[in-house]
Chain A
Amino acid sequence: MPRRYPLFLALMLTVTQSVTADSGPGTAKDVVSAAEQEGKLVVYSTTDIALVVPLLKDFAALYPKVALEYNDLNSTELYNRVISEVAAGAGSGDFLWSSAMDLQMKLANDAYALAYASPELPHLPQWASWRNEAYATTFEPIAFVYNKRLVKPEEVPQSHTELAKTLAGNTDRWRGKVTAYDPERSGVGFLLITQDARLDPNFAETERSYGRVGVKLYTSIGAMLERIQSGEHLLGFNIFGSYATARQRKDPSLGIVYPKDYTLVMARLALIPKAAKHPNAAKVFLDYILSKRGQELIAEAALFSIRDDVEGEHTAASLNRELGGTLKPLPVGPSLLVYLDHAKRLEFLKQWQQAIGTK
């Protein structure tokens, strides 16, 4: 009996090990137990809670001892709260998960973030982490979105250059029917337009074509998608593929096109603040999100997984196959901070205003 017992146990252990090692996070044991001691995790996130409910449930199943408090904020609020709460010494979030790449980068650059080398790191692309302080957790392509009911398939532009031509070529058709983020009032919108300026060889023309059709600018993606769905607008650009896909599931009349000349890829950045009250719980959560198991759920939620070994729809792997070299992810690093400089920002905005002011 004593002989067989350890063998039995060893067998069980290997079995369970392999199951967890298979897709679960590879967090170090002591970190896990420290996390369980902490018992709580406060997440500040810009991701709609409805999208991540399966993720949270799964995490709770894996780590029942860590109670997760999920707070849904918008990106500027998140930044605001973190800096003011840290300055006040009051409690703040333990895990910051935001799609505003520049603001997250600023937090990291301003030394708010804890450095932690996640064991899942090898499965992420090289550009996806900065000094182990900021991690890209998703791989979200930026798309054109259109209303299938009212726009014929041949009208849909397949690239940015085509977009400019289509709009300029038939301004009456498209007048008031095109929508995008307002770079002036939306941080993420600004980021996307500046990337367009960098990547689109024809950017000046494209800008002007927006002006000629009187592009409608919004601060919220939901508003844009809603109006495309309702037919108030026909076409939108610089739309998050993830949100569009989620909407498309409910309303098949939404069409999505990933531009063939280049497709920007945004990532939701995760950060653990130095001032976190439950840093180990945060580490565990980070590892979980980056693990195969977590990433599979992310893919299912149409948030587009970034990990290399996750297969299926809405994954980096499938996108890479489909679009290959035209995918242009934004590297996680100080380059994101360029336009947080007031002067540069205001200058860019001025030239943008002038360009779209053309009729």
Chain B
Amino acid sequence: MVSNVHKRLGDNDVLKGVSFQLSKGEVVALLGPSGSGKTTLLRAIAGLDHPDQGSIRLGDHLLFDGATGTAVPAEQRGLGLVFQSYALWPHRTVLENVEYPLRVRKVPAAERRERALTVLRDIGLTGMTARYPHQLSGGQQQRVALARAIVYQPPLLLLDEPLSNLDAKLREEARVWLRELIERLQISAVCVTHDQVEALALADRVLLLDKGKVEQEGAPEEMYERPRTLFAAEFMGSNNRLSGKVMEKRGAMARIAGTGWALWGQLRADRQLGEEATAVIRLERTLIQHTAGDNCLPATLETAVYLGDRWDHLYRVGELRVRAWAETPPAQGPHYLRFPPESLWIF
């Protein structure tokens, strides 16, 4: 329903032409490092800041058009926005906070109360209605902020870093809970985050932004398994990185070599023979072996860190440092690292 054609913000060139579409019931994640312009984009959709160029449409309504100078102010757009800091009004109770959008829409008191209570119940916060925000935990505050944003059933929900203010443990639970809620209520949403795990978990489609431009757009699996650029590959997961030169090319595969090592991998970028390239492989795909094999490199174990659910091994291969995961503590004997060619992407 929302189609952004082209958006650019003047001073600083924060957004250099970003476009995307969103269909009803879809969740799009705007993912990127800080400074990539994702929050600016979100605020532009909300109407809190106006871009210099481009247009924003919601179905048939034109919210912004740089060419004609149309700019619908935020209070008239009817969207829902959940702030990173939740922005709950400290001088009002939970119920009053949630009721406020309805009050502004002149909904009569009884109906207002009922709708607010319903939403709070859906979200799992009954019994908290008379409390003040400072009396709630972080997770509860987030729920109130969410409730407030959906109580008037906006066509589009905007979320700014919804999970970043939560503790690590809470975040995991919230991820699941939030996704479930969005699906249940069939909310269309745009979610801004810098955490790729969050983006993968919550979104139907991920937009990866870097320095104001869209690096890659696609479904979560596509983004993770088939990154199209080095930046995308590195951003979407934890990787090992090997720099070297392209020695050979054979169809879609290439051989990359550095001092004392050479490996075959999937060529994902257009590289010529002899050109410098970077090979990237997900940590979980890097396999530890004790015998030599195809696409293997001998490695010396430097240290291993116990993380509870696995061991994180740090190896040295010549000048390279490579990490790999294993379920067992490191064994004695020679170690080899295997880099399955289809998982080793060369950019």
The answer to whether A and B touch in the complex, with CB atoms under 8 Å apart, is no
Interface residues of B (CB under 8 A from A): none
